[in-house]
């Protein structure tokens, strides 16, 4: 969920109220624009975030999770202003969330490639047998065509793909991930 910013008084409280109203238990947030990294409880929601450490209120990702579920959080790692990883214990083992915010379409190719290299490292650091969920804004249009037998895209493609499409699909295919 691209929040555009939570960097104004009351924004996180409003978001908490909406998450509670819709009974959303876990949400990946992009464009949070909070500095550094940390954890805060607001209402019924725990926010863990990873932002910039240069004083600029730009970018930033967060995981919003119902406070009652935080007891299952084993660890969380702020990676950079575009990536955060959190690991939770559940009945069948572990669940790893990665919250991601890819560079926009007009970003330099090298910036996009660095994002996917960092994402590769983040997924490699998840437990081998963990269930993996990546919650993100990848700034990619999925396109409508798929390769025969390809499960990454499924039937959800739309419109004409953009430059970031190949990076996203390649990453998903390489890790046997499905876009949902």
pLDDT in tens, 10-37: 999 999 999 999 999 999 999 999 999 9
Cα 3 to Cα 75, 90, 107, 131, 149, distances in angstroms: 24, 28, 20, 26, 35
Mean pLDDT of the chain: 90
- Kindly state the tokens that stand for 67: 């406070």
Percent of the chain with pLDDT over 70: 91
- Predicted confidence (pLDDT) per residue in 60-80, tens digit: 999 999 999 999 999 999 999
Contacts of 47 (CB under 8 A, 6+ apart): 12, 29, 39, 40, 41, 62, 63, 64
Domains of the chain plus CATH, in order, are: 11-139 (3.60.10.10)
d(CA 130, CA 35): 29
* Selected residue with higher pLDDT from 166 and 138: 138
Q: Considering just the CA atoms, what is the radius of gyration of the chain in Å?
A: 16
Q: How confident is the model at residue 153 (pLDDT cuts 50, 70, 90)?
A: low
């Amino acid at each position: 969920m691209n929040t555009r910013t939570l960097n104004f008084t009351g924004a996180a409280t409003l978001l908490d109220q909406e998450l509670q109203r819709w009974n959303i238990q876990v949400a990946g947030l992009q464009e949070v624009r909070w500095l550094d990294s940390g954890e805060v409880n607001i209402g019924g929601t725990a926010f863990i975030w990873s932002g910039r450490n240069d004083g600029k209120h730009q970018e930033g990702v967060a995981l919003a999770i119902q406070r009652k579920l935080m007891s299952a959080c084993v660890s969380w790692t702020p990676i950079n202003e575009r990536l955060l990883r959190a690991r939770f214990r559940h009945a069948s083992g572990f669940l790893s969330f990665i919250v991601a915010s890819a560079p926009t379409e007009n970003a330099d190719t090298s910036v996009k490639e660095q994002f996917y290299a960092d994402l590769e490292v983040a997924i490699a650091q998840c437990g081998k047998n963990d269930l993996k969920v990546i919650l993100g804004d990848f700034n990619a249009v999925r396109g409508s065509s798929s390769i025969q037998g390809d499960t990454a895209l499924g039937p959800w493609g739309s419109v004409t793909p953009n430059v970031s499409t190949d990076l996203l699909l390649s990453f998903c295919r390489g890790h046997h991930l499905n876009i949902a």
